Amino acid sequence: MAMRNKVSETVIRRLPIYHRIISDVITKGIERISSQELSKLTGFTASQIRQDFNNFGGFGQQGYGYNTEALRNEIAEILGMNYEYKTIVVGAGRLGTAIADYEGIKNSGFKIVALFDHDETKIGNFIHGVEILDMEKLDEFVKENSIDVAIITVPKTVAVDIIYKLSELDVKGIWNFAPVDVYVEGTVIENIRINDSLFKLSYYLKNND
């Protein structure tokens, strides 16, 4: 799988969907699948699916389709799911601990090594074997353990400063759950605007047809 011209974000957004659906199919013991069948499962057109895959190289075989195992591995490789990222969770409230607890995280290559919080009643507790540390020790910990990724679940008011600081400390990726968009040169930031999705629901509740 050689990487060529920049692939558009529209395509990247579909890759995790392909990965999930192909994984489901593999679980059912199915070894090959055509773009036609994938179309039924994903709702995308067969043509689009072939186009998407061919951004990264030819994964299929004419007259046969795609081998499900091979296809899943290719997509996992493209998405970087085979790497391990040392990850911390900043903010050990309900959301932070929910995320630390979440099955999907572990299987995706993000290894959570610590949580951080100011609350003294929380410090020292363990969430699924991972300790909650004092927020005061954040800088030191990040430096000493060369942390790759931080998941931000602190309130909006402090989130921005923490993200700037983590960027300076050379954290490479940020998964930000605080409802503010932050962009920092040289750091990959995914802003999760959970609220926005709720408004979308609200819109379609009103304009349902």
Partner DNA sequence: TAGATTGTTAATCGATTAACAATC
d(CA 174, CA 105) in angstroms, rounded, equals: 14
User: Tokens 């509740």 correspond to what residue?
Assistant: 205
* Contacting a second copy within 155-174 (CB under 8 A): 172-173
Least Cβ distance, residue 7 to DNA (angstroms) = 9
Binder of a second copy out of 108, 112, 122, 137 (CB under 8 A): 108
164 binds DNA (CB under 7 A): no
Radius of gyration of the chain (CA): 20
Binder of DNA out of 8, 107, 146, 197 (CB under 7 A): 8
Which lies closer to a second copy via its Cβ, residue 31 or residue 190?
Answer: 190
Least Cβ distance, residue 39 to DNA (angstroms) = 9
Phi, psi of 204 (to 5 degrees): -75, -20
d(CA 37, CA 41) in angstroms, rounded, equals: 7
d(CA 88, CA 14) in angstroms, rounded, equals: 27
The gap from C-alpha 172 to its chain's centroid, in whole angstroms, comes to 14
Pairing label, strands 188-191, 110-117 = unpaired
Least Cβ distance, residue 182 to DNA (angstroms) = 21
Binding mask 32-71 for DNA (x = CB under 7 A): --xxx-------xxxxx-xx-xx---xxxxxxxxx-----
* Contacting a second copy within 13-72 (CB under 8 A): 13, 15-17, 19-20
